[in-house]
A and B are shown apart, each in its own frame.
Chain A
């Protein structure tokens, strides 16, 4: 019996997820995305891409906030 929240849009709901628990370890040598047993593997490459994306997103947000902050400062100086 699953203890997960009812997640009706998850794929293959009710399907045997037995191999999934090991999917993470097995996937360390796997390509980025595998279609096997309904579980996408997460390799070292995947983690690197995910971290790179997080860095891009954070850098972009900081750039936007700093630029807008500088513009906003004109309210008090301009």
Chain B
């Protein structure tokens, strides 16, 4: 008899309303998306632990690195176990990570925060990120882009919620908004967030369902998908996918798109001030907020449009128009504030869109069989870009400063490098073709694997 966590326990009736499922997926993504708001803890933690920017910055870096590793190595397990069990395990790692980090804050042991938030929480991030994605695609076979956009929009939205919420909680518990007071509220804020995330993720796990094998959306004809040249009806296993050029081309596409986006995101505030000297720190913070909204909106809007335009065409747009926007900033960004803001918002919306469209792209290429596991492996491109993007921009920034450059000139070389990266991604996307039939898993083997699982 299966446990209530098993896939068999959450098969929905054929009359189930599929629109109940996106909230469950959003629940976990909104919680783990908090990681993008970690910077709100940076100054309070530096004060609390009496340490510098780099030491605290490592907490976030470890978490993101663990995200990539957990998604890559845990993807197959997530596919086998189903969304409820994986959401519960991801939630447990995420919440326990917060508790261990709280212990570290209480005892003044920074290494416990690395272990808790970084390592344990990071595992929760990786498993939680991929856990609802393939399930949503199975619920929306007619609109996979919409489905993945809904889920992954939550990851962008998590930071929008956690950033003001964390600041309010630290001020509430610390008794004010001064840096020392925020620092005093750190421990209780971590505990509160842990409890809130535990409740919301548990509700999500309770609500999640997988579709009945004989269920199909009203008015959906699966044979229509077969008529589209870039959408397969066959399936490729996660292990076999690594042997296809398509996987590695998509890895390059994602890496280039994310690296280019991070280049702007990481330095948004100082960059706009360098381009426009009249911009105050408060206005620069507002610019960062605007980019966060563009990031979240892009995840939903662009992924949804990919259902109509096709995934490959969407990436042509992300990489091609993104490239043009980078050139606009490099050549005339400093001349007009509106042009600068619009161009950066477009780039960041494409950055978000790249994340949310890629699971549907993988489904088109490799089928739905182990798409979650394949997605997990592809996310190593995100980890690599998370290192490469800031490294490129920050290293060039230092070298340009050393060369005596100032203002917008500090960023020009970085922008041209991003243009080059986007061009490489554009070419890689152009080369994507349907996967050769020799990589397809025979139907009978898929059934055997199900029975074993």
Contact = CB atoms under 8 A, between A and B. Distances in A.
Contacts of A11: 7-8, 11, 82, 210, 213, 450
B283 A68 contact: no
A53 B204 contact: yes
With most chain A CB atoms within 10 A of its CB, the pick from B1, B7, B225 is: B7
A39 B1 CA distance: 13
B451 to A, nearest CB: 9
Contact of A13 (B20, B24, B209, B213): B213
Contacts of A53: 23-24, 27, 200, 203-204, 207
Given A68-B160, A69-B289, A71-B285, A8 B216 contact: no
B12 to A, nearest CB: 6
A68 B27 contact: no
Nearest to A15: B213
B16 interface: yes
Contacts of A63: 161, 164-165
Given A6-B222, A40-B12, A68-B160, A20 B209 contact: no
Interface majority SS (helix, strand, loop, mixed), chain B: helix
A63 to B, nearest CB: 6
Interface majority SS (helix, strand, loop, mixed), chain A: helix
Contact of A69 (B13, B215, B235, B293): B293
Contact of B233 (A6, A33, A49): A6
Contacts of A52: 203
Interface residues of B, number: 70
Interface string B235-258: 100000000000000000000000
A26 B200 CA distance: 28
B141 interface: yes
A67 B215 CA distance: 40
Contact of A68 (B8, B212, B225, B293): B293
A70 to B, nearest CB: 8
B209 to A, nearest CB: 6
Contacts of A23: 13-15
Contacts of B16: 24, 42
B282 interface: yes
Interface string A55-73: 0110011011101110111
A46 B207 contact: yes
Interface of B: 1-2, 4, 7-16, 20, 23-24, 26-27, 30, 79, 82, 134, 138, 141, 154, 157, 160-161, 163-165, 200, 203-204, 206-207, 209-216, 220, 222, 225, 233, 235, 279-280, 282-290, 292-293, 341, 367-369, 443, 446-447, 450
Interface of A: 2-15, 17, 20-21, 23-24, 27, 32-33, 35, 38-42, 46-47, 49-50, 52-54, 56-57, 60-61, 63-65, 67-69, 71-78
14 contacts: A3-B222, A10-B212, A11-B11, A13-B447, A23-B14, A33-B9, A39-B212, A49-B207, A53-B200, A54-B23, A57-B26, A67-B161, A75-B284, A75-B290
